[in-house]
């Protein structure tokens, strides 16, 4: 699938291979930058979700705990599910213009929020993918809102690897990736996971302005700017404001 992925696993029959190729071609034609396929099995690192929740790192996001069991078992989301179609789009856009000399300071808005709501954009394309491939029509499509551990699913599908900042990274496409997935009862040809290339690098940890990456591969939401400006109700705690 990519220069840093292993060879995809052999198909069980020509029908599976042909269907997989059709889905891949259709997904790329719809504008997705990456697409991969993984078996719909309980995630290997599902226990980390329990540990993270027990440590209180979800903050006020109680919905994560309510759906925890579903996130660890795709069959609870879609009975009879066999495969996950994982897609990604890169949201990198040009930097905003510099402020005029002497102008008052302005707040900064994350690039993913500069345009239309990415939930709507990706979900619309996933639905088009389902409509164009009959075997996917009965599946469940999600963009950041369903009970799916989507980064692990995407990593299992060879779309990228989960970095130390817990974001999905692909060597060619980058790290500013929006993810979506379709859970389906169709059998597909699966891609091999992409090798983790983080190595000894700690640039994401060193750069985090609020020290939210408390250790490699673990983010405390309560310290994260994204959480503090979106998910948390009320004002940002004074102690967190300098970051």
Contact 155, 161 (CB under 8 A): yes
198/170 Cα distance (integer angstroms):
11
Question: 135: helix, coil or strand?
Answer: helix
Q: Among candidates 79, 42, 124, 27, which has minimal Cα distance to 19?
A: 27
User: In terms of DSSP H, where are the helices of 38-97?
Assistant: 46-54, 62-66, 68-71
75/185 Cα distance (integer angstroms):
10
Longest dimension (CA), the chain: 67
144 counts as catalytic:
yes
The catalytic position among 50, 117, 144, 191 is 144
**Rounded-to-5 percentages of helix, strand, coil across the chain:** 35, 15, 50
Which amino acids are annotated catalytic?
A: 144
């Amino acid at each position: 699938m990519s220069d840093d992925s292993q060879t995809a696993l052999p198909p069980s029959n020509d029908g599976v291979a042909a269907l997989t190729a059709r889905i891949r071609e259709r997904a790329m034609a719809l504008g997705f930058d990456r697409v991969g396929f993984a078996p719909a099995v309980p995630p290997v690192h599902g226990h980390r979700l329990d540990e993270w929740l027990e440590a209180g790192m979800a903050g006020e996001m109680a919905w994560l705990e309510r759906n925890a069991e579903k996130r660890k078992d795709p069959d609870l989301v879609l009975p009879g599910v066999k495969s996950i179609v994982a897609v990604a789009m890169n949201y990198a856009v040009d930097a905003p213009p510099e402020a005029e000399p002497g102008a008052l300071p302005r707040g900064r808005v994350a690039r993913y929020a500069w345009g239309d709501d990415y939930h709507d954009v990706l979900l619309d394309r996933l639905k088009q993918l389902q409509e164009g491939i009959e075997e996917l029509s009965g599946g469940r499509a999600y963009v950041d809102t369903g009970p799916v551990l989507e980064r692990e699913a995407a990593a299992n599908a060879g779309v990228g690897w989960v970095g130390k900042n817990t974001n999905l990274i692909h060597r060619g496409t980058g790290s500013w990736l929006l993810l979506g997935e379709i859970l389906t009862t169709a059998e597909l040809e699966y891609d091999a996971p992409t090798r983790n290339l983080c190595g000894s690098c700690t640039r994401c940890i060193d750069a985090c302005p609020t020290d939210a990456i408390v250790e490699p591969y673990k983010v405390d939401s309560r310290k994260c700017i994204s959480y503090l400006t979106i998910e948390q109700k009320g004002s940002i705690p004074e102690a967190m404001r300098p970051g």
